[in-house]
Amino acid sequence: MSTTVIILAAGKGTRMRSQLPKVLQPLAGQPLLGHVVETAKQLKARRIITIFGHGGAHVQNAFKEENIEWVEQKEQLGTGHAVQMTLPVLPTDGFSLILYGDVPLVSSETLNKLLEASQKTGIGMITLNVDEPTGYGRIVRSHGQIQAIVEHKDASEEQRQITEINTGIYCVENSKLHEWLPQLSNENAQGEYYLTDIVAMAVQDGLEIASIQPKLAYEVEGVNDRIQLANLERAFQRQQAIHLMREGVAFADPERFDLRGTLTTGQDVYIDINVIIEGHCEIGSNVEIGAGTILKDAKIASNTKIQPYTIIDNAVVGEKVIIGPFARLRPGTQLDNDVHIGNFVEVKNSHLEKGVKANHFTYLGDAEVGTESNIGAGTITCNYDGVNKHKTKIGSSAFIGSNSSLVAPISIGKGATVGAGSVITRDVPENTLAFERSQQIEKANYQRPQKTK
């Protein structure tokens, strides 16, 4: 079956109190509209038609890499009018899913169920039973079949007791949309064209209207203000944490965890509070992630311990590695097994082989460090000359004394030693001691400067 996804994304979002269009507000690190587009791609939709309005240039620019057909709704005349705008480009065959840019979390699983149900009848919709239906359109049924959608303000007292509501998400045969949409009328109190009127048209044509309900209620929750956005963020993050716990992850507090991407894990992973995962990360078994840690597009092998407030960005970490606290691994970093990276150590675009230790206040940029080498506190690789980056090579079992500066390009041989406080500008051969210091000067009876009163 050929599937088109129509996304309504023209709203201004006045209640967000933001210069950013509502559909670009972030949820789990991605614009609201981005979640809907990703779901459409998971469904392998033949076409994604997005209706834009307020802030259209910003919205289109944010998704310029996506294969989206853009249709403008110049006047905000209701949901029915928005979908009418797609008629010139809407296929006449197949089905369309009608979704919303500010209802970001409806799942592909739920939409596939809707597609399957709708094929049998030509039209289907998602409904939801809620405890407090006030303000929502009610689903009126007769002998179990949907007969109408009645808005709250138009509902009788009996109808207001109905707890099944309309979510606004539909799946309709495209030939029917071409037939029904031109018939919509705006002869109502609001002067708008309502998409819900196609339900009445379907009933009038004698069609049965299929319906399904989502697995999780938040899938059909919309966002109109920052309070709703925050509530939806927490609901989504809570569900992601529940999924990870089922996969063998233990959380200090699942309410204080953010996954802004995807994560695969082994068993017996422990994640402390306020950890943020971005992009796609992979974590092996028996890994500990300390409080306040940020991982982005990182691969962490088994039995590794990441101590609090560490940042790992586009880096690969081996087994039995200890990192942090307050360490930073920048893009291009590879740590082999048994490496120790301590507090306030930064590593960028460097490969540290098995057993390397850099435990304090060190910067290693554009470096290759051989097995079992020790990098003393305060050591830096001077990799940038103001224009170009240069490489530092340190052989296995080398010992770099504290507070040393290695001016790249430079090579420190296997088993070499660099004395503390040295500025090394020339290559050091294997098994050689190198140090560079000026003469020590002493002055007896030295009087320290005094503060001026």
Query: Hey, what domains does the chain have and what are their CATH numbers?
Result: 3-220 (3.90.550.10), 226-434 (2.160.10.10)
- Long-range contacts, stretch 65-73, CB < 8 angstroms, 24+ apart: 66/37, 68/37, 72/10, 73/10
Strands 433-434 and 392-394: unpaired
What are 387-403's pLDDT values in tens digits? 999 999 999 999 999 99
Is 79 marked as a binding-site residue? yes
Q: What is the pLDDT of residue 429?
A: 95
Is 15 marked as a binding-site residue? no
Whether the predicted model's global pTM rises above the 0.75 cut: yes
Is 207 marked as a binding-site residue? no
- 162/156 Cα distance (integer angstroms): 10
Q: How many CB atoms lie within 10 A of CB 154?
A: 12
Q: Average pLDDT of the chain?
A: 95
Is 78 marked as a binding-site residue? yes
Q: What are phi and psi of 353, to 5 degrees?
A: -80, 175
Contact 215, 109 (CB under 8 A): yes
**Average pLDDT estimate for 78-91:** 95
Is 100 marked as a binding-site residue? yes
What are 405-428's pLDDT values in tens digits? 999 999 999 999 999 999 999 999
Tokens of 268: 């017996």
Tokens of 12: 């201004």
Cα dist from 249 to 242, 279, 292, whole Å: 9, 18, 17
Closest CA to 359 of 395, 331, 321: 321
Confidence band of 191 (pLDDT split at 50, 70, 90): confident
Q: Is 272 exposed, middle or buried (0-12, 13-18, 19+ CB in 10 A)?
A: buried
Is 388 marked as a binding-site residue? no
Is 230 marked as a binding-site residue? no
**Average pLDDT estimate for 416-442:** 91
Is 234 marked as a binding-site residue? no
Is 420 marked as a binding-site residue? yes
C-alpha count within 13 angstroms, C-beta hemisphere, residue 1: 20
Is 365 marked as a binding-site residue? no
Q: What is the pLDDT of residue 190?
A: 76
Q: What is the pLDDT of residue 321?
A: 98
Listing DSSP states for 18-60 in one string gives -SS-GGGSEETTEEHHHHHHHHHHHTT-SEEEEEE-TTHHHHH
- Would you say the C-alpha torsion 357, 363, 369, 374 has a positive or negative sign? negative
Q: Which residue in the list 54, 152, 360, 390 is annotated as catalytic?
A: 360
The verdict on whether 360 is a catalytic residue reads yes
Q: What is the pLDDT of residue 322?
A: 98
Question: At 112, which helix (H) or strand (E)?
Answer: helix 108-119
Query: Would the pLDDT of 446 be above 80?
Result: no
* Radius of gyration, CA atoms only, the chain: 31
Q: How many residues does the chain have?
A: 453
List CB contacts of 120: < 8 A, sequence separation 6 or more.
210
What are 6-57's pLDDT values in tens digits? 999 998 889 999 999 999 999 999 999 999 999 999 999 999 999 999 888 9
Q: What are phi and psi of 238, to 5 degrees?
A: -60, -40
Give 145's strand partners.
Answer: 142
Cis (ω within 30 of 0) for the bond into 409?
Answer: yes
Is 102 marked as a binding-site residue? yes
Q: Is 221 exposed, middle or buried (0-12, 13-18, 19+ CB in 10 A)?
A: buried
